[in-house]
Structure formats: structure tokens, C-alpha cells
């Protein structure tokens, strides 16, 4: 584990990424000197630079000179020019897993893990605790509505963090309270099998601090198994759900009309609060219930939390309404797994009765598309039309036969699906073919969210 001392300079390789930019923000607010490099800029690096961080475009050995510690993105290879320079200068180099424990030391750590829903659940906990005057520190995998920040230093004892499973980052945590929303195979470039991923989550739960507490979704078999295992070992675990009648906390009488989700919260069969949430879908109601339970364990009553959540707004790129033009609503969503895409299309169908649902999808990484091919082909069943852009490669090389063109062809037999080679082509197709009332759901964990602005700004 890294040893942080006042006055140190911390250099970040890949400072523009969601994970490293958040840590950089926390350290900058704690008074550390922060520098970093990245191939591209963005609003997060611009905000860091405005607040005093030294941010470089591109990579160069000179950038690490004078640093006390280097923190490198998982995407940086061992022969990266700045990593090699740091080692030549005997500057210790860490990844997030080895570094994050030093950032959270002496905090009451609330860690939210799960294949889906962790960003929204984390954001909801932050919103509740802030509304209750608890002023938590936080790191979240998206930009909060209002502030636009993905991290912040608070005066309260709690540190709320989104526990990222990729590269086993969450194995660097020792949470006091852990939430597991669900476990489903993802990141096949890292977790080769679902068994590997389940075991990674089990190790995360086993890292709970002495006396720590687990909150797990009882509607998800893998998450429920972790709760059962913890209880058998004498540890604390609380379960929640909608479908499982044995859950400690349940949502009942759920409704979803006009974009508002309503439900009653029960604890061991007794009503505790009425939920009214301005986000669509039962999955978001479950996220809210997990957040309410976490806040209850930190002294905020369910009634208060439910009231606070009435003003909660979606985190950036999580079913985020980007605008409306001539009866066409444009929504940006980070979904990049078949399950996430499916539930968001279903939520849009419920929320926008009588609208055509268009899905504009930028597939993310070749290994994920190869692993979940049939899932993706079937995930768009509730969409009226689908446009596919080229695959966003991220850290990967192409895999023969795994293309957006082939995906579109596989879908076309049972829905309107077509491939567009550029974002400009996508916007042109939408202008020509979409007729109001309609909803454009842009699914992208890459850069296809640019299509939202391009469509809204385009001349007809």
C-alpha cells in the first residue's frame, strides 16, 4: 500500500479516466501537489487544471520528474514511457488497487459494488447523506447532476465509493459497509468466466472490516449467496428486493407511470416509507432501496431518505435526458451490457407511451461483443429501430468476424437494424427516418454520446 505524506507530489498516468481523475480530485482537495498526463482532455481534467493540478496532453518521461509517487491507469503497459522513467528514478509506481487504501485510510468506507447499478446507487447514497447534512467524501464513476464532479472531499466521517470490479480494484478496499447490487458476467477481457467474477466479488465481501456490514440484493442469486455465506460465518448481512419474499427489506405495490416510480418500502413486513422517484424502471427503484438501507445504517431514517430522493437527478450518462427537438427526446446512457440495454429500453417503453423507441448503439470492446453476442442480438427486442456504429475498441485489438455490420445483420431478421459507419451518418439517418413522437436512446460507454449534441444541433 502507498504511504501518503503531506507535501508529496502525486503524478497520474491517465489522469483523464474516471477512476484516476476522481482520486486526483480528492488528493488535490487534501492539499497534495497533483500532476498528470493523458492523450485526451475533457471536462474532468479541465476542472482539475482550473483548481491547480498540472495536466499534460500526451506522455513524456519528463512529466514524472519531481514526483514522489506515480499512479498509473490499468491501460498503461509496463513499458509505458512514464512508468519506465519513474522506475529509473526509483519513484514507486502503483495501480488503483494498491493505492486506494491509502486514500480511504481512517474513513468510514461505504463501498457500492455490482455488475449493474453501482454508479446510480452510489450517487443516491451521496445525495441522501448530503441532504441530511452528513457531508460525505465520495468517488463515483459518473458526474453528479448539479456539480458535474465525480469526487469530492467532505467534512463528515463517511467516504462513499463506487467499488469497481475491473482489474479487481475493489480488492484494495476494506469497507465498513458494502453493497452488492447484482453479479453478472462482464469484462470478459479480465474475468474469463462467470465463476472468476463471482469469486472476485466473494473476495471483496470477505475484505469487510471487522464488524462490517453487507447489504445484498436478494433478487440476484449470486448476491444472495454472498449474504447467506456471510451470515453462516457469523457476519452481518441485510438483504433487499422486490421478488424475493424472504428479503429483509422489500419494495411492494410498485408503479411506473409518467416517468415516476412509486412504491412502498417494507422492513420485515412492516411499512417504513413511501418511495417516489423521478427515474424510470424497477431497477432504479431497487437502487434507491439499497441507498435508503445504507443511509439508515448511518443514521438517516427511511422516511427522510425517501423524501430526499424525490429531488435526485440522474448521474451524467445514466438515462440522462439531453434534450428534445420537435417531439424527439434524446437520452444518453452508459449501458454496455445486454442486461443494461434491455432494462433501459423497457424503462423507456414504460415511460414514453406511444413513442417510437430508437436505439443508437456503440458496441464496446470486441471481447465483450464476442462473449455476449446472442445477448446483444436479443437485448433490443423492445426497440422499434436500431442503429449500430463501429465497435469502440478501448484497450483491445479487433477480433476477426466481430463487427457491428455482422451484429446488424444478425438483428435484422426480427427488427429494423442497420449499420452506420460514422456519427454523421447516424445523425443523417435519424433526421431522415425518425418521426415524432419518438425517443432516441444512445447507448455508449465510449464517445457516441456526441451523437446527442450533433442531432440536437443539426439543421433540418
10 CB-near residues (< 8 Å, 6+ apart): 24, 27, 32, 33, 34, 35, 67, 68, 69, 70, 71
97 labelled catalytic: no
Q: Give me the sign of the Cα torsion angle 3, 69, 28, 41.
A: negative
Q: How far apart are CA 177 and CA 337, in angstroms?
A: 27
Residue 48, SS3? Answer: helix
**Beta-strand relationship, 158-162 and 213-217:** unpaired
Cell of 197: 467474477
Choosing from 118, 181, 239, 342, the catalytic residue is: 118
- Strands of 69-72's sheet in order across: 54-57, 33-38, 9-13, 69-72, 93-94
Q: How far apart are CA 266 and CA 398, in angstroms?
A: 49
45 labelled catalytic: no
From residue 378, alpha-carbon distances to 176, 229, 319 in Å are: 39, 34, 20
Choosing from 45, 73, 109, 119, the catalytic residue is: 119
Which residue from 80, 116, 117, 113 is spatially nearest to 95, judged by alpha carbons?
80
Q: Assess contact for 125 and 291: CB atoms under 8 A.
A: yes
162 labelled catalytic: yes
Q: How far apart are CA 157 and CA 171, in angstroms?
A: 22
Q: How far apart are CA 279 and CA 316, in angstroms?
A: 13
From residue 40, alpha-carbon distances to 25, 289, 398, 430, 454 in Å are: 18, 37, 22, 29, 20
Choosing from 73, 109, 120, 162, the catalytic residue is: 162
Catalytic positions: 118-119, 162
Amino acid at each position: 500500500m502507498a504511504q501518503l505524506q503531506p507535501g508529496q507530489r502525486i503524478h497520474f498516468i491517465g489522469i483523464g479516466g474516471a477512476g484516476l481523475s476522481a482520486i486526483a480530485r480528492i488528493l488535490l482537495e487534501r492539499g497534495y501537489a497533483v500532476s498528470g498526463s493523458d492523450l485526451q482532455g475533457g471536462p474532468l481534467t479541465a476542472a482539475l487544471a482550473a483548481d491547480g493540478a498540472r495536466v499534460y496532453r500526451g506522455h513524456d518521461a519528463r512529466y514524472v520528474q519531481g514526483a514522489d509517487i506515480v499512479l498509473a491507469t490499468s491501460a498503461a503497459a509496463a513499458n509505458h514511457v512514464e512508468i519506465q522513467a519513474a522506475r529509473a528514478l526509483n519513484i514507486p509506481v502503483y495501480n488503483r488497487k494498491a493505492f486506494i487504501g491509502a486514500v480511504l485510510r481512517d474513513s468510514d468506507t461505504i463501498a457500492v459494488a455490482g455488475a449493474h447499478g453501482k454508479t446510480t446507487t452510489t450517487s443516491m447514497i451521496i445525495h441522501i447523506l448530503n441532504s441530511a447534512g452528513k457531508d460525505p467524501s465520495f468517488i463515483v464513476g459518473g458526474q453528479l447532476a448539479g456539480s458535474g464532479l465525480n469526487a469530492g472531499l467532505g467534512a463528515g466521517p463517511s467516504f462513499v465509493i463506487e467499488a469497481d470490479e475491473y482489474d479487481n480494484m475493489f480488492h484494495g478496499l476494506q469497507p465498513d459497509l458494502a453493497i452488492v447490487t447484482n453479479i453478472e458476467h462482464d469484462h470478459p477481457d479480465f474475468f474469463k468466466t462467470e465463476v472468476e467474477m463471482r469469486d472476485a466479488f466473494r473476495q471483496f465481501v470477505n475484505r469487510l472490516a471487522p464488524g462490517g456490514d453487507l447489504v445484498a440484493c436478494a433478487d440476484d442469486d449470486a448476491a444472495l449467496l454472498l449474504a447467506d455465506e456471510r451470515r453462516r460465518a457469523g457476519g452481518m448481512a441485510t438483504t433487499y428486493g422486490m421478488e424475493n419474499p424472504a428479503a429483509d427489506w422489500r419494495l411492494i405495490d410498485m408503479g411506473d407511470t409518467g416517468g415516476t416510480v412509486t412504491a412502498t418500502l417494507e422492513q420485515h413486513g412492516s411499512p417504513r416509507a413511501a418511495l417516489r422517484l423521478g427515474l424510470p424502471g424497477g431497477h432504479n427503484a431497487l437502487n434507491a432501496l439499497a441507498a435508503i438501507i445504507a443511509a439508515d445504517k448511518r443514521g438517516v431514517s427511511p422516511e427522510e431518505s425517501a423524501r430526499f430522493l424525490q429531488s435526485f437527478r440522474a448521474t451524467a450518462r445514466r438515462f440522462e435526458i439531453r434534450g428534445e427537438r420537435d417531439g424527439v427526446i434524446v437520452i444518453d446512457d452508459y449501458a454496455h451490457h445486454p442486461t443494461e440495454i434491455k432494462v433501459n429500453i423497457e424503462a423507456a417503453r414504460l415511460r414514453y407511451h406511444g413513442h417510437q423507441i430508437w436505439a443508437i448503439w456503440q458496441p464496446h470492446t470486441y471481447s465483450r461483443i464476442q462473449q455476449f453476442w446472442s445477448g446483444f442480438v436479443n437485448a433490443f427486442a423492445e426497440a422499434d429501430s436500431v442503429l449500430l456504429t463501429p465497435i469502440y475498441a478501448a484497450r483491445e485489438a479487433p477480433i476477426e468476424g466481430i463487427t457491428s455490420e455482422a451484429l446488424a445483420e444478425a438483428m435484422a431478421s426480427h427488427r429494423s437494424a442497420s449499420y452506420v459507419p460514422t456519427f454523421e451518418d447516424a445523425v443523417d439517418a435519424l433526421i431522415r427516418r425518425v418521426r415524432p413522437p419518438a425517443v432516441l436512446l444512445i447507448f455508449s460507454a465510449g464517445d457516441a454520446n456526441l451523437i446527442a449534441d450533433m442531432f440536437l444541433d443539426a439543421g433540418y
